[in-house]
């Protein structure tokens, strides 16, 4: 339910492959992943984070840290708003960068991507 209340993804660019993921679908995916390896104490990397629905969901399920990478600056604004809205600033890092062929510097190893 909390994922469904996030501010939605503001854009739908086919070029950037921007497609919204609804909160209930994200919750279903995340629950299945959590039943396997689990998110507890993991550093999760969310590439093409959009509005943060998957990264924030991983944080809700116990991820120690979530790094979210998004290339669209207007989407990053929404992502920052959503992270602040769930008081996730202490465990969520947002990087405004492209991912295809561009290096991304991380300050800690990633357990799940």
Which pLDDT tens digit goes with each residue over 12-50? Answer: 776 777 777 888 999 999 999 999 889 999 999 999 999
Pick the CATH number of 3-96 from 3.50.50.60, 1.10.730.10, 3.40.50.300, 3.40.50.150: 3.40.50.150
pTM above 0.85, yes or no: yes
Which pLDDT tens digit goes with each residue over 72-111? Answer: 999 999 999 999 999 999 999 999 998 888 888 888 899 9
Distance of CA 112 to the CA centre of its chain: 12
Phi-psi region of 75 (alpha: psi -120 to 50; beta: other; left: phi over 0): alpha
């Amino acid at each position: 339910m909390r994922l469904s209340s996030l501010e939605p993804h503001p854009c739908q660019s086919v070029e950037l492959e921007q497609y919204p993921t609804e909160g209930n679908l994200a919750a279903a995916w995340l629950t299945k992943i959590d039943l396997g390896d689990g998110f507890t104490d993991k550093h999760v990397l969310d590439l093409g984070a959009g509005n943060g629905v998957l990264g924030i969901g991983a944080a809700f399920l116990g991820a120690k840290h979530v790094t979210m990478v998004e290339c669209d600056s207007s989407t990053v604004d929404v992502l920052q708003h959503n992270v602040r809205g769930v008081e996730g600033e202490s465990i969520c890092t947002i990087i405004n960068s492209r991912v295809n062929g561009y290096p991304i510097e991380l300050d800690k190893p990633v357990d799940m991507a």
